Chain A
């Protein structure tokens, strides 16, 4: 079966840093995605990792270790608008089929 695990909820204050961990066990691996989703809206793309290491994109960074089946999304300098659900997704085949984790609800407080 496919397992993609991430924490249900995290709370942090404005200006702080939050790290969202994702562990996965899937039948195939063609890359790992992070998406942001606000309530009632479709997911928006944040990052993509297919090789081990850190990818940095502005305030967001994502890390991947394929041998450990582990990734994290790092959000720096948190802003109120960052309050959303963050979805970890693994591409399990070359067609781009994505399996999603349950999502981590990040709550940013003043």
Chain B
């Protein structure tokens, strides 16, 4: 099946700093990628839809100036958590939509665990 990677897998940063998380589709082109966050023992919460070449669409309650999303190419989307605070500590997961010849499926990356101290 298709593979989506995320980098880094774990990151620890200090309050006030910014952290960039990369999401790559490795063997298909993804015009649409999604960013989720997940708190312990909770479900995934959609943060934003990332479309290649255009601005991301954020879900209600998600600060677009805090969570910067850039989908610069058909295989890469980045999420930058700016001026991070401890409450931003979470598991961040991306997914990429594959609308190739085989059908229409969504594949998840392995996730990035962010800890803000």
Contact = CB atoms under 8 A, between A and B. Distances in A.
Given A42-B93, A42-B109, A100 B32 contact: no
A4 to B, nearest CB: 9
Given A43-B108, A45-B105, A45-B107, A96 B43 contact: no
Contacts of A44: 108
Given A87-B44, A102-B43, A95 B32 contact: yes
Interface residues of B, number: 24
B57 to A, nearest CB: 8
A98 interface: yes
- Residue of A44, A97, A98, A101 contacting most chain B CB atoms (<10 Å): A97
Given A42-B109, A43-B108, A45-B105, A96 B97 contact: yes
B33 to A, nearest CB: 10
A98 B106 contact: yes
Contacts of B1: 45
B65 interface: no
Contacts of A48: 105
Given A41-B111, A45-B107, A98 B46 contact: yes
A99 interface: yes
Interface string A78-110: 000000000101000001111111110000000
A45 B104 CA distance: 12
B34 A97 contact: yes
20 contacts: A40-B91, A42-B110, A43-B93, A45-B1, A45-B105, A45-B106, A45-B107, A45-B108, A87-B43, A87-B44, A96-B34, A96-B97, A96-B104, A98-B34, A98-B44, A98-B95, A100-B36, A100-B43, A100-B44, A103-B42
Interface of B: 1, 32, 34, 36, 42-46, 49, 51, 91, 93, 95, 97, 104-111, 113
Interface of A: 33, 35, 40-45, 48, 87, 89, 95-103
Given A40-B111, A41-B110, A87-B43, 10 more contacts: A45-B1, A45-B107, A48-B105, A87-B44, A96-B32, A96-B104, A96-B106, A98-B46, A98-B106, A103-B43
